[in-house]
A and B are shown apart, each in its own frame.
Chain A
Amino acid sequence: MTQAVDALDPDQGTFDPDQANRYPPGDLAIWIFILAELLVFAVFFGAYAFTRMDNVELFNEFQLHLDRQAALINTLALITSSYFVVRAVSAIKQNHSAACTRWLIAAMGMGAVFLAVKTGEYSHHIEQGINLSTNTFYMFYLSLTFFHYMHVIMGMVILAAVAIKAKKGGYTAQEHTGVETGASYWHMVDLVWLILFPLVYVMR
C-alpha cells in the first residue's frame, strides 16, 4: 500500500507512471465545481478584454492608478500559499498529520496576507470615492477582483476545515481525499489570480 501511495506522490522519487491515476486528485465533484468556476472567470476576462477594445485610453489611464506593488505582494502570497498546500498534500501522503496541519496553517497565513493587502486597496479606493459607477474600468476592476476575493475567503474556510480534521488525525496516507479536494480548490484560486494580475494591473 505504501508503494502505491508513493507512486501517486509527485514529490517522491519512486513515482511510477504506470500507476498514475486517470482521475484528478481529490473528490471528482470539486473538479466539476472548479471547471464551472473557471468558465465563469473566463467569461469575465473575455468581457474585460473586449470592453477595453472600445475604451483603450480610459483603461490605460486608470490602470496606472492601481497599486502594482500590492498586486505583486498578493501574487507572491498566493503562489507561496499554493506551494505550502502542495507540501501539505505531500506530508499527509507520508502519514505526517502534524506537518500537514502546519503547512495548511502556513497556507492560510499567506491567504490572510492576500486578504489584508486587498482590503487595504479597497479601503484606499473607498476613501477616494471610487465605486462601481466611477467608470467602466473600475466597474470591471472592482467586480472582478472582489469576485476573486470572495473565492479566497471560501478557500480559506475550506483549508481551515481540512486543517482541523488533519489536526485530529482524520487523514492518513491511505485516505486523504479531503486534503486533495481542498488543495485543488485553493490551486484554482491561485490559477485565476495568475491571469487576473497581468490582465488588470500590467497589460496595456
Chain B
Amino acid sequence: MSNKPFLGILPSTWVYGILIALTFVTYSIGEEGLGGLELSLLVLGIAIIKGHLVGAYFMGLGKLRGPWRWPVSVWLIIPGGLIATAFIFSN
C-alpha cells in the first residue's frame, strides 16, 4: 500500500473521491429501479470494496503488519457472504 501523494494529492483524498464516485454508481442503479441477482451482487461488491478502502486508508489498517490488518476485511466477508448467499437462494 503506497502512502506517497500521487499527482500531488494525498492517498486519503484519492480514496475519498473513489468512495464518492462508487456511491453515485450504487445510487444510479437504485434510482433506475434495476434489480436481479447480478446487479444485486454488483452493488454488494461495490459496498465491500468501499468498506475495504475505509478500513485500509481511513482506519489506517492497511499499513499494519500482523493480525490487526485484517479484522475489517474479514468482517466485510461475513455479512457480505451471508447477504450474497441469501440473495442467490432467493432468486
Contact = CB atoms under 8 A, between A and B. Distances in A.
Interface of A: 8, 10-13, 15, 17, 20-25, 31, 35, 38-39, 41-42, 45-46, 49-50, 52-53, 56, 60, 64, 68, 71-72, 75-76, 79-80, 82-83, 85-87, 90, 180, 183-184, 187-188, 190-191, 194-195, 197-199, 201-204
B3 A11 contact: yes
Interface string B56-82: 011111111110100110011011101
Given A11-B3, A21-B64, A83 B16 contact: yes
Interface of B is mostly: helix
Given A50-B82, A75-B23, A83 B44 contact: no
A45 B83 contact: yes
A26 B19 CA distance: 24
Contacts of B66: 22
Contacts of B31: 68
Interface of B: 3-5, 10-13, 16, 19-20, 23-24, 26-27, 29-31, 33, 35, 40, 43-44, 46-48, 50-51, 54-55, 57-66, 68, 71-72, 75-76, 78-80, 82-83, 85-87, 89-90
Contacts, number: 155
Contact of A17 (B30, B33, B63): B63
Contact of A24 (B47, B59, B86): B59
Given A25-B60, A38-B75, A72-B27, A11 B12 contact: yes
